[in-house]
A and B are shown apart, each in its own frame.
Chain A
Amino acid sequence: MLWLLWLVPALPLAGFAILFLTAGRLKKPAVAAIGVGSTGLSVVFAFIVTGAFLAAPPAGHAYHEVLWRWIAIGHFTPNVALRLDPLSLIMMLVVTFVGFLIHLYSAEFMEADEGYSRYFAWLNLFMAAMLVLVLAANLLLLYAGWEGVGLCSYLLIGFWYRDPANGRAARKAFIVTRIGDTAFILGIIYLFLSLGTLDIAALMDRARQAWPVGSGMADLAAALLLGGALGKSAQLPLQTWLPDAMAGPTPVSALIHAATMVTAGVYLIARTHVLFMLAPPVQLAVAAVGAATLLLAAFSALNQHDLKRIIAYSTISQIGYMFLALGVGAWTAAIFHFMTHAFFKSLLFLAAGAVMMRIGDEHDIFRMGGLWRRLPVAFLTFLAGAVSLSALPIISAGFYSKDIILLAAWQSGPSGPGLWAAGFVAAFLTALYIFRAVFIVFFGPMHTTPTSRYGWRIVVPLSILSVLALVGGLVETPAWLGGIAAFSNLLAPALPAYRGMAAGSAAQATVMAVDAFIAVFGVTIAYFAFLRRPALVTRLVTAPAARALSRFWLAGWGFDWLYDRVLVRPFVGLARLNRGDVIDAFYSGVAFANCAANKLLSETVNGRLRWYSAWLAAGSLAAIAIMMFA
């Protein structure tokens, strides 16, 4: 049954093709049936394939399926080929399942929109591209999926195209990620020219044999791939596009800008982890970028007024945790956190969307308040997401994944305590900022009155995701909670196991206890600061220094300001300056000189005898003078 694998990306692609070619002529129920149905079938086939894979694992725990020959020139023979191994299996399951739930939610959420068909066309295309990305057997096809999801991200951020601000946000996302992608494509070229293949499995084998640990070639290759990962996963210094990407419809933010696409960088690094293990400086850079990003983004999240921007910064921060995990070699922990994050972060977005759609699309948390009574479904599901994001011990999926990451960071050699400290402080901030949102949005005085009700297509995805956000982490638990290792065992053939310190050591127990405590502490502080004694916070943030700092954080640490001055304005200025093409001015000059010379010479042909004889005389004199003096 494994050969059915191609259907998993093909079905959403077919959905896209139908919706694109009918160009909006279908009725809305038909659109929803195609859009949601194709993804639903894709989930079914993903489960069938998974079943077949687990029941009888293929040789080497990887199934390779060549669909057709893409390019074959000499030794350069990348195929359109899929590869299913435990890593891509988990990615495929999460992408299809969460993707399907978000499609279902969208069917109701977007029902009143005039662009219903266009919306599902792009969303289906996104699913196809994302599945190609995770299932690709070679880097070139992976890059095709990579760019495909980038395109869909662009199309969906700018979905409401009438507002130029949305278009600007969409372009920003495409251009900023394209900067990283260009590094990525150069990395692909470099890898092929150095190792002679682009097939990922063969590439990793050859790299392992050809390059020693610490070789400059491995450093370069890994660094170029990292460039691509930084852009797509919105890590420093290419993180600026993601908060603006919230201009798109909320389910899009949940699917693309939280659960799936933005974690593609994490997947890429995990997929090519051999290269990063051969390049310790680059791997350390991954950890450092992750630590810096998760901290910076957490501070920014603390200051936002816009509910979606809070969650967006939180996404940047949580992907920072995944990068931290990759950087310290806790590969499975990164993928584990990807999975739990996909559950709780898409849940947070969908719940936030459920709140905002009922109060006239209000985004400002300070104009909400007291909504828990009127919107119990949204409240409970958002709360489940917040609990999981804060990593409250035992009862949340986020706890299990974040716990491993912090522990691994602590144990990762000389820089370990520093990396851990960043993650630890951000863990506190995470609990603080998300419960700030919970308390301000759902408690306190009411500022708005919600309207209408939810249908099943919104309630069901929210409920399923809530359950997963709470218990989805139980596939991998620490020793004192049963020591389940189903997740890392499944991934073992694809990713090296993390070799931490022996379970049960005193240091480990201490670190884990502190990590668990900090989340609870953060929630408690949030409760006092934002619900019980808001006056305290008000007084704190109105101090001049605090206000400046707050504005700085609100603006995302001034990156936009900096890039605008250093890159955007010089580029636009230069382009405007040379709008008329300076090269053309040269040719115009030549043409002008010719015309002028023509005019000048025509002047001499004026038919006046005296004029001619004068010139004759002058010429003769000149000739005599030259003869005499030369």
Chain B
Amino acid sequence: MLLAWLIFIPALGGFLAWPGERLGRDMPRWIALAALAAELALLIAIWAGGQGGTWLAETDRPWIPQLGIAFRLDLDGLSLVLILLTIGLGILAVAVSWNEITERVGFFHLNLLLTLAGVIGVFLALDLFLFFFLWEVMLVPMYFIIAVWGHERRVYAAIKFFIFTQGSGLLMLVAILALAFAHRAASGTFTFDYFALLGTARHSAIGFWIMLGFFIAFAVKLPAFPLHSWLPDAHTEAPTAGSVILAGVLLKTGAYGMLRFVLPLFPEAAAQFAPLAMLLGAIGVLYGAVLAFAQDDMKRLVAYSSVSHMGFVLLGIFAGTALALQGVVVEMIAHGISTGALFIVVGLLQDRLHTRDMRLLGGLFAKVPMLSAAGMVFAIASLGLPGLGNFVGEFLILLGSWEVNLPLTIVAALGLITAVIYALVFVQRALHGEPRDAAILPDLGRRETAVIAVLMAAILWLGVYPQPLFDTAAPGLADLRHPQAVHAAPAARAP
């Protein structure tokens, strides 16, 4: 049952934090931090006591046995690193909302922790019904975070976010049910168990369409071009903590879903669909980057840069080689850190300046040098500088995609150029230039410095010593690769 506690601890923490408000305004924050610390300790304990092999831990309890629904959670290396990212960014999200969120603090932390609980559950659930349930759990509290604590157009953005995710979730529900029924038709038992369903789609005529249902749901979340248009609004209007969790963690559930469900459940259909998916990925890389360049709003710029990075992720997932999949894992973590950090930097700037419009900014280096340097470091990470995490991810994805689809690999590689353009334009318009006025702004405070320092250390570690991450994720990834990957594993062709 240990794995179940990984979901319950944040949820319980949330329900304690809500009324905790009455004990003091900062009480919910401390409760949230305590819950996340406990969560982290538990995860590390599970990891350390892992049973070896692909699956580090598992929990399987009947839930609604009449319908073949179980409470089934499994932890492998892939889930582990994504949950670590979730907890880490969760802690930072609490830290950065310390000054920003001043109303209904308890309710905010309830929503934040429930979102995290849902996300962690999504990374663990291997009963498809449970997975769908947790998929919905992470959606509703995020809707509230955007709608209640967001910026100017928060209601519009929240509704858009909800409709996109809910509509695509419905497709996924239909696909899950179709898969379960197909399995019953083939074997006579009705179950939502992931491992039982693994071979089902192979024998089903409508396997491709079921796959498409899953794919669209995950592609909306990722988001993949052309289903991305909820993202700029949601990211921009959400409060900083919301943007960090959205970009850092929620998008990864889309990529995770493709890795965990689309590839293993539908290997043939996924292979058949791969060229189109990779095309969408490559288009996303360039489309997101060009749009990021054109924005005036800093948060929209960062949001579109996410579309670009997630294009790489989509490309790598459907390339499916060992190198590409490892690249996808690094890219997901690195994107979570660098983009989360950029949202934090932009949020801190907005706190001080009350605007995100780069037409009104400039010369911040002279006023808040440390904050500006932080912005520059993460912009540089975002453009893929070797030595920082994103480069490792993007390079491995390109390396792993080359033999699968050369033209699309080259198109995606052009994203290395466009990334420089938007990242440096951000640095120029916001940070460089002559200061607009003589107003004195506070630079990074102690808590803010700590947040930024942690993120910088993490992105640097990913860039120079990512091997522990590869080693952790490798066993899980080995099981996910679809048949297409077999011929594409690079062999040393020494003469």
Contacts and interface: CB of A to CB of B under 8 A. Distances in A.
Contacts of B370: 23
A305 interface: no
Contacts of A24: 369
Nearest to B384: A147
Nearest to B432: A161
Contacts of A197: 492, 494
Interface string B433-451: 1110000000000000000
A69 B471 CA distance: 12
A578 interface: yes
A178 B493 contact: no
Nearest to A590: B163
Contacts of B464: 70, 80
Nearest to A151: B385
A575 interface: yes
Interface in A191-224: 192-197, 206, 209-210
B195 interface: no
A185 interface: yes
Given A71-B392, A76-B399, A80-B464, A185 B492 contact: no
A167 B433 contact: yes
Interface string A329-362: 0000000000000000000000000000000000
B385 A178 contact: no
Contact of A196 (B433, B434, B467, B491): B491
A436 to B, nearest CB: 35
A186 B424 contact: no
Contact of B386 (A143, A584, A587): A143
Contacts, number: 151
A152 B465 CA distance: 22
Contacts of A194: 493
Interface residues of A, number: 59
- Per DSSP, chain A at the interface is helix
Nearest to A69: B467
B168 interface: no
Residue of A193, A196, A197 with most chain B CB atoms under a 10 A cut-off = A193
Given A147-B385, A574-B290, A192 B489 contact: no
B363 A171 contact: no
Contacts of B421: 171, 175
A148 interface: yes
Contact of B428 (A20, A69, A171, A193): A171
Nearest to A150: B385
A174 B490 contact: no
Interface in B287-321: 290-291, 293-295
Contacts of B365: 161
B465 A185 contact: no
Nearest to B419: A178
Interface stretch (B124-132, B170-178, B226-234, B266-274): B226-234
Interface stretch (B15-23, B32-40, B409-417): B409-417
Contact of B495 (A70, A80, A181, A206): A206
A581 interface: yes
B304 to A, nearest CB: 8
B215 interface: no
A182 B232 contact: no
A75 interface: yes
A72 B469 CA distance: 11
B396 A161 contact: no
B416 A164 contact: no
A192 B399 contact: yes
Nearest to B414: A182
Interface in B400-431: 402-403, 409-410, 413-414, 416-417, 420-421, 424-425, 428, 431
A599 interface: no
A334 to B, nearest CB: 26
B291 A575 contact: yes
Given A74-B323, A164-B428, A174 B420 contact: yes
B339 interface: no
B373 interface: yes
Interface string B207-228: 0000000000000000001101
Contacts of B366: 162
A112 interface: no
Residue of B386, B470, B493 with most chain A CB atoms under a 10 A cut-off = B386
Contact of A71 (B409, B414, B433, B466): B466
Residue of A144, A189, A209 with most chain B CB atoms under a 10 A cut-off = A189
B229 A587 contact: yes
A236 to B, nearest CB: 19
A68 interface: yes
B417 A175 contact: yes
B398 interface: yes
Contacts of B232: 581, 584
Interface string A168-189: 1011001100110110011001
B420 A195 contact: no
A178 B420 contact: yes
A541 to B, nearest CB: 37
A74 B395 CA distance: 15
Given A175-B424, A185-B398, A583-B229, A75 B416 contact: no
Interface in A141-165: 143-144, 147-148, 151, 154, 158, 161-164
A324 B155 CA distance: 64
A385 to B, nearest CB: 33
A74 B291 contact: no
B385 A71 contact: no
A73 interface: yes
B88 interface: no
Given A171-B424, A185-B395, A193-B403, A73 B414 contact: no
30 contacts: A23-B369, A71-B466, A72-B467, A73-B396, A74-B490, A80-B464, A143-B386, A144-B386, A147-B385, A147-B386, A147-B387, A148-B386, A154-B424, A162-B363, A162-B435, A170-B424, A175-B420, A186-B398, A186-B410, A193-B402, A196-B491, A197-B494, A209-B495, A575-B290, A575-B293, A578-B291, A579-B294, A581-B232, A583-B229, A587-B229
Given A74-B490, A148-B386, A162-B363, 9 more contacts: A23-B369, A182-B414, A182-B417, A192-B399, A192-B490, A193-B402, A579-B295, A583-B226, A586-B229
Interchain residue pairs A-B with the least CB separation, the first 5: A196-B492, A144-B386, A584-B229, A575-B294, A161-B432
